[in-house]
A and B are shown apart, each in its own frame.
Chain A
Amino acid sequence: MNKNDVRYIAGLARIHVPEDELEEFTKNLENIISYVDQLNELNVENIEPTSHVSHLKNVYRPDQVKPSLPQQDALKFAVESYQGSFKVPRVIE
């Protein structure tokens, strides 16, 4: 892993990383990745992956209309709101 990789991943993760912090992150991530690389010792060829351990599958409930969070409560602690919506910086140039 090099600085360019970290720059790229930070972009995917939507986290700004200033140039002077890149080296430290690169070093830390490199360290952790070389540790997790020990999984390569394992033969996992015919092993099914486990994404979760409960035996639940497709948990459904009846589709009933029930009272929900009122709009004004949802917006009570909004950073910025406008006409019942959360307001954000311009999205389309």
Chain B
Amino acid sequence: MNLYNLTAHELLDQIKSGQISAVDVCLAFRKRIVDVDGKVKALVRLTQDAPHDNGCPGLFPIPIAIKDNMCIRDVETTCCSKILKGFRPPYNATVVEKIIEQGGVILGQANMDEFAFGSSCETSCYGPTYNPWDLKCVPGGSSGGSAASVAADEVAWALGSDTGGSIRQPAAFCGIVGLKPTYGRVSRYGLVAFASSLDQIGPLTKDVHDCALLMNIISGYDQRDSTSVNVPVPDYTASLIKDVKGLRIGIPKECFIEGLNPEVETSVRAAIEVLKKTGASVVEVSLPHTKYAVAAYYILATAEASSNLARFDGVRHGLRAQPSTPRKTPIVDMFEETRYRGFGAEAKRRIMLGTYSLSSGYYDAYYLKGQKARTLVKDDFDKAFESVDIIVTPTAPTTAFKVGEKVSDPLSMYLSDIYTIPANLAGIPAMSIPCGFDRNGLPVGLQMVAKPFAEETIFRAAYTYEQNTTWHTKKPVLN
């Protein structure tokens, strides 16, 4: 067993007992990055962070990867887009600040779909990340670099962001744990905005215990994020209870649909049996409007994105371009050429789609209807949670697909988020945990969804399931 194979809580135990030092840990992971990231390509930039050697060792001197859309002071942060190349933020994101305060060691910035637009990590301007379980497959997206770096043991844990499944779907594809917290639970100050009513930062970790530890660090109210909610942060590790007796689990009857890979279905049904055997009661619930969630999401998320991304115009930082022959006025030419050269095809599609649904004459038919459909999706959850504590579904309809398989078909790519999107629309917490493998050895993810600010319920159910199975102990072979 190498140090880099350990979870963060195992490393912390060994550091505290004096068996190893924070420097040993840092060096072991750095070497691991050198050994395997040439194949996985999870990290787009390595940082020079080192653990504090003495004086202030920090409570959590654990190596971490940060998705390339969270600002790190004076370190290039690009959202993996050409338009932000060279941008070095003059401030830290709140989550980055909290990690640093706890002595965390930032080893690198993780690859992602450009501006988090994608489910495969293939739209990054740095090229794709590869799934550690099968290098011909995608790691999922958009936090694909974060998930792959953890699965490949390049870091002990990572941060990602989730707008429609961008933490959970890659966690499922890479066989690790990923949590999208309740909207407002974690400050987004310093997170480059994609869709402000949906975005949330969360942990990607090797097990449920680590997820609780990292949530303890990053959660909490922040005056600098006006959408952060002032609700006390519990000690999430107190919910690591191996017992689900009395817990009511809902299975949506709409979740075993056409298009769901039969092997994923088998694994998820087996996981439900495990929860039943450990004392949970399982009932059927109905979420009749979830089938409209993807459509509503692609109206709302792109509308918000078109507005948020209007700030990338060549005026201040990053790329600025001018066409070789003038077309309109000099300033408009500069805007249009900068955005033409700076954004990739998927970013342009989403900005144009969002602009369309917000434009005069289409606002009521698309944007307003999307918002109303969102209400229906949210009401479905409110109603279901009257009779259950947690809802369990597959995280994704398939296991990891091949690199290149869906790039030319944006719509089929969007449908890989069919199970994860509803939780973003409703603003509720949802976790993906490993629950099996398909016949090709690719991981399957189980999603657990709870009421707003009921992360503790998820931790209890997820911990119980995990401690009764061994999926989280399996490692990809990369040598």
Per-residue 0/1 for B337-377: is the Cβ within 8 Å of any A Cβ (1 yes, 0 no)?
10110010000110111011001000000101111111110
- Whether A74 pairs with B373 at a CB distance below 8 angstroms is no
CB-nearest residue of chain A to B313: A14
Query: A44-B369, A53-B183 known; A61 and B223 CB under 8 Å?
Result: yes
With both chains docked as a complex, state the minimum distance between the C-beta of A89 and any C-beta of chain B, in angstroms.
4
Which B residue sits closest to A88, measured CB to CB? B315
A-B CB contacts (within 8 Å), total count: 168
Contacts of B299 in A (CB 8 A): 36, 39
Stretch in contact with the other chain, from B56-64, B129-137, B321-329? B321-329
Chain B interface mostly? helix
The residue in chain B whose Cβ has the minimal distance to the Cβ of A5 is B356
A67–B373 CA distance with the chains assembled, in angstroms: 43
What are 19 A-B residue pairs whose CB atoms fall within 8 Å in the complex? A6-B352, A12-B359, A13-B355, A15-B343, A15-B348, A15-B352, A18-B340, A33-B356, A38-B292, A39-B299, A42-B292, A42-B373, A44-B369, A50-B378, A52-B183, A52-B227, A54-B229, A77-B86, A89-B333
A36→B320 contact, CB < 8 A: no
A78 to B333, CA, bound (A): 19
B320 A29 Cβ-Cβ under 8 A:
no
Q: Number of A residues whose C-beta is below 8 Å from B?
A: 51
CA distance A36 to B336 in the complex (A): 28
Q: Given the known A-B contacts A14-B332, A28-B349, A39-B296, are A78 and B316 also in contact in the complex, defined by CB atoms under 8 Å?
A: yes
Query: Which listed residue, A14, A52, A79, touches B316 by the CB 8 Å rule?
Result: A79
Closest Cβ neighbor of B321 among chain A residues:
A16
Chain B, range 28-81, C-beta contacts under 8 Å to A: none
Cα distance A53–B422 when bound, in Å? 12
Residues of B within 8 A of A61 (CB): 223
Q: Check if B427 sits within 8 Å of A54, measured CB to CB.
A: yes
Q: List 10 A-B pairs, minimum CB-CB distance, nearest first.
A: A53-B427, A49-B371, A16-B340, A89-B330, A44-B372, A16-B336, A52-B197, A59-B226, A36-B295, A13-B355
Partner of B184, one of A14, A54, A91: A54
Task: Let me know if A51 and B371 touch, CB within 8 A.
Answer: yes
What size tier do the contact residues of chain B reach?
A: 35 or more
Instruction: Give the segment of B87-95, B148-156, B235-243, B460-468 that binds chain A.
Output: B87-95
Q: Which residue of A lies closest to B377 (CB)?
A: A50
Contact B373 A44 (CB under 8 A): yes
B411 interface residue per 8 A CB criterion: yes
A56 touches which of B227, B343, B373, B374 (Cβ 8 Å): B227
Could you tell me which B residues sit within 8 Å of A by CB distance? 86-88, 90-91, 183-184, 196-197, 223, 226-227, 229, 289, 292, 294-296, 298-299, 306, 310, 313-320, 322-323, 327, 329-337, 339-340, 343, 348-349, 351-353, 355-356, 359, 366, 368-376, 378, 410-411, 414, 425-427, 452
Report if A32 contacts B (CB, 8 A).
yes
| A50 and B371 form a contact (CB under 8 A) | yes
- Note all chain B residues with C-beta closer than 8 A to A80: 320
**By the criterion CB–CB under 8 Å, are B90 and A74 in contact?**
yes
List the B side residues contacting A37 at CB < 8 Å. 295
Is residue A35 contacting chain B, with contact meaning CB distance below 8 A? yes
Residue from the set B196, B318, B353 with the largest chain A CB neighbour count within 10 Å: B353
Closest to B371 in A: A49
Is A47 a contact of B317 with CB atoms below 8 Å? no
- Known contacts being A59-B226, A79-B314, is A12 close to B410, with CB within 8 Å? no
> Which residues of chain A come closer than 8 Å to B183, judged between CB atoms?
52-54
Q: Are A17 and B340 in contact (CB under 8 A)?
A: yes
Q: Are B335 and A14 in contact (CB under 8 A)?
A: yes
Contacts of A90 in B (CB 8 A): 329-331
On whether A28 and B316 interact (CB within 8 A), knowing A12-B355, A69-B90, the answer reads no
Bound complex: CA of A15 vs CA of B88, how far in Å? 24
B430: shortest Cβ distance to chain A, in Å? 13
Complex contacts, B366 vs chain A, CB 8 Å? 36
* Distance between Cα atoms of A37 and B327 in the complex (Å): 35
Minimal Cβ-Cβ distance residue in A for B357: A36
Return B148 CB to nearest CB of chain A, in Å.
27
Question: In the bound complex, what is the Cα–Cα distance between A49 and B299 (angstroms)?
Answer: 13
Tell me the bound Cα distance from A35 to B353 in angstroms: 12
Within the assembled complex, what's the spacing in Å between the Cα atoms of A10 and B327? 14
A62 → chain B closest CB, angstroms: 10
